[in-house]
Structures are given as C-alpha cells and as structure tokens.
Amino acid sequence: MPVATTKQFAAMLDAAQKGDYAYPAVNVTSITSINAALKAFADKKSDGIIQFSTGAGQFASGLNVKDAVFGVEVLAEAVHRLAEKHDILVGLHTDHCQAEKVESFLKPLIELTAKRRAEGRGNLFQAHMFDGSALPLEENLAISKELLKLCADNDIILEVEAGVVGGEEDGIDNSDLPAEKLYTSPEDMVAVHEALDGIGRYMFAATFGNVHGSYKPGAVKLTPEILKNGQAAVMDKFGTDAEFDLVFHGGSGSTLEEIRETLAYGVIKMNIDTDTQYAFTRPVVHHILKNYDGVLKIDGEIGAKKLYDPRAYLKAAEEGMANRMKQACDDLQSSGKTISGTV
C-alpha cells in the first residue's frame, strides 16, 4: 500500500534524518498534480510527501461548494487510490493551518482519520501542520500542545512552526514583516522542545530567513547556520535524542548549496509549491501560444478539437510538474532511497 502506514511514515522520517536527506513535500490541487507527484517519486525511486492547503481544498471541492475540508478529503482519498499503482511510499500532509482555522479545518480532518481508525481502516493522513507563528510563542505552544496530544491519539505527526516564513502564499501574506521575525532563535527552539517533548512525534518548521514566493537566485538571504545553532542548543541541554526533525518552507530561489547545507542540520522535509506551480503552467502556456488558432475559434473558424481538448495540455502540465519534482528529489538527495518493501 504506497500511502504509508503510520509506522512506515515514521520510518521514512527516521531514514531521512539518519541519511542526511529530505523528502520533497509537494502541494497539489487536482488529480493531474497528484499524478505528477506520483510519477516523479516513482521515476526517481524516492518516497515523498503530498500535501494540501486550505485553498487547495476549496478549489478541489468546486466553485459552488468551496469547502476546504471536503475538498481535501476528496484529494486525499484520490491519492490513496492512485498511489496503489506505484512502488514507492508517500505520506499525506496538510499545509499551513493558522489558529483561526483549527476548529473549522484541522480538527475536522483529524476526526476523519479517527473515524477511519474506528472502522479498522488506516489513517487518512499521516501528518498535519499547525501554523501558530503569528501568535506569541507561549500561546502558539499552548495550542500546539493540545493539537499534538490529539494527533498522537490518532498516530498522526504534527508539524509546528515558530518564527514566520516571509512572503505570500495561498492567501497568507507576511511580506511586510520586520526581518527579525524571519529567524527562529536558539531560545525559541529550546522552548519548543520543552513544551512538546514526550507528548507525541512532531516536526518543526524553524525559520532562517526563508520566504514564500518566487525569487531570483541570491534574492533570498538564508542563514542555515541558525538551524545548526538551534539544534546544538537543544541537544546540549537535552541530549542527542532531542534533535529536531526540521522542515524547510519557502525554498524558491535558494541555491543548491544552501539546500544541501540544511540537510546536515536536520531538515527532513522541504515544501515545494511555487516552482511546481510554474512548472505545471509553463507547458500549458506553450501549448496555447503555439496552437493559438486551433485552441480558439478565430474569425468564424471551428478550431481544432484535439488541441482544445484539456487532456492535450494537461498531459504536458503533468510532465512539466513531474520533471520539476524529479529535480527536487535529486536536490534533496532522496532519489533511489525508497524504503518501500523494507518496513
């Protein structure tokens, strides 16, 4: 079953931490983008993470419905079926859920998994993210503790964030934040461990200057050493078992050297969205521009059905997105390291 069990997903994270590599975590919005992710992971013999935002859920549920929970459930169920045809493991995850959406988005999704488990079925999701980074740290961690207990009761891993990822993505705009908000301090990292240790397994999105959005190389000023220093502060105080499973958000515009450096500091998951959106759309634009008078009915003509058939350009979109995801597998050094069949 290529959607990982809870045991397999934990083993995936352990393998990445031990092997100094990370999993691409790709945001998807449709069957086509799901298939692009699965193709990339399968072609690269890499396990990976497929994740959904609240906006993706609203989009997937349709213009008349716009129900984020329902749409995400539909997408997740689709991954469970489609992944059966591939020989790698994928974990299912949800992306940024702010405090004001916990009751309407995160808790209902946890309940869907709880219902499946009560029926003797496997988890719908292996992980969820709570983004309390806009809150004071004490309030953030109080909510994180509550959610981590709820997730642990259902064998779900929780991702938390302290420090704010800059830029704008999927309706979350942190473009105007002061620079100091973009960096998680060693003291913050110690506080996270002290608050959450022993409740359940979690991943931690610590920030080190990373921002959402699209940027030219060199425009984003990352300081990966922040991760190194924070890990050291925690392990010096609590021992090597306290090492965080870190998550890298906002990687667009990062150099390969910067990405690889974070792997040595405990990053085991890197979110991919902006770059794959472009990789999906670019072939569609090429198709439209190249076949303008066939896609459109120009000057009373009838066009060319085989060119305006959505499958003509969506297949190209799937291929384009898959190719970008293959690059991510190589960049994060997860290629060829599937643990499918071993756990």
Quick: pLDDT tens for 160-198. 999 755 444 454 444 444 455 568 899 999 999 999 999
Let me know if 95 is a catalytic residue: yes
What average pLDDT does range 266-280 have in this prediction?
96
What average pLDDT does range 260-277 have in this prediction?
96
Reading the block at residue 25, the tokens are: 């975590």
pLDDT at 166 (0 to 100): 43
The rounded distance, in Å, linking the Cα atoms of 126 and 14 is: 14
Domain coordinates in residue numbering, the chain: 6-278
H or E element, residue 248: strand 246-248
pLDDT at 174 (0 to 100): 41
**Structure confidence at residue 250 as a pLDDT band (50, 70, 90):** confident
- List 95, 131, 188, 273, catalytic entry: 95
pLDDT at 177 (0 to 100): 45
pLDDT at 66 (0 to 100): 98
pLDDT at 182 (0 to 100): 66
Reading the block at residue 213, the tokens are: 């959005």
CATH code for residues 6-278: 3.20.20.70
Task: Decide if pLDDT at 251 tops 80.
Answer: no
Mean per-residue pLDDT of the chain: 92
- Of the candidate ranges 62-71, 98-107, 192-201, 206-215, the one whose mean pLDDT is the lowest: 206-215
What average pLDDT does range 300-326 have in this prediction?
97
* Residue spans of alpha helices (H) in the chain: 6-19, 31-44, 54-61, 68-82, 107-118, 137-152, 186-196, 225-238, 256-264, 274-290, 292-295, 305-308, 310-331
